Amino acid sequence: MSELSAPYVHPLARVEDDVEIGAGTFVWANAHLRRGSRIGSSCIIGSDVTVDLGVIIGDRCKVQNAALLYSGLRLGNGVFVGPAVVFTNDRSPRAVMPDGRLRTEAQWAHGDTVVGDGASIGASATIVTGISIGSWAMVGAGAVVTRDVAPFALVLGVPARPAGWVCACGARAEIPGVTRCDACPETAG
């Protein structure tokens, strides 16, 4: 196995102090990586992506342009995040207190969101905080996910609802938990 190169960070990306970026990772123009975030090795962080405070991204993840990954999020290894996906971090967002004072970060009810290894989140999906998306699950484009998603599940719509199952390769599967199907390169032929 060849050794990975140092990470590449585009000159127009903004990387705050205390950010870890793994070997072989590419960070493209106008991405903003906030302090305390950790990006694994061999990742692609697209243009205009925001990786908020303390977000953890596993190895070999691909985060497409304009995705917003807010604090409280942890992505497993091999996760795909489509363009313009939003991971929220507060179920009751308010800018001010009832008396008009600005809320501080400590006054927000931050949730935690976990995305399992190999999961895919389609373009423009919104993931409401406090849920888990299972390994190899697939969230359809434009879906609004408000509940946990089982491993290998396909969810679609607003709000997102179960619509079937997918194999690890992404093909539709007839039964839950199928890890290899006839369409997989390892089994085809």
**Number of structural domains in the chain:** 1
Average pLDDT per run of 10 along the chain, which is 189 residues long? 84 98 98 98 98 97 98 98 97 90 84 97 98 97 98 97 92 73 60
Is 159:144 a contact under the CB 8 Å cutoff?
A: yes
CATH of the domain at 139: 2.160.10.10
Is 182:188 a contact under the CB 8 Å cutoff?
A: yes
Residue 183, domain extent: 1-189
**Would you give the distance in Å from CA 93 to the centre of its chain?**
21
DSSP string, 19-88: -EE-TT-EE-TT-EE-TT-EE-TT-EE-TT-EE-TT-EE-TT-EE-TT-EE-TTEEE-TT-EE-TT-EE-
The answer, yes or no, to whether the previous bond of 159 is cis (omega within 30 of 0) is yes
What is the model's pLDDT at position 7?
Answer: 97
pTM: 0.92
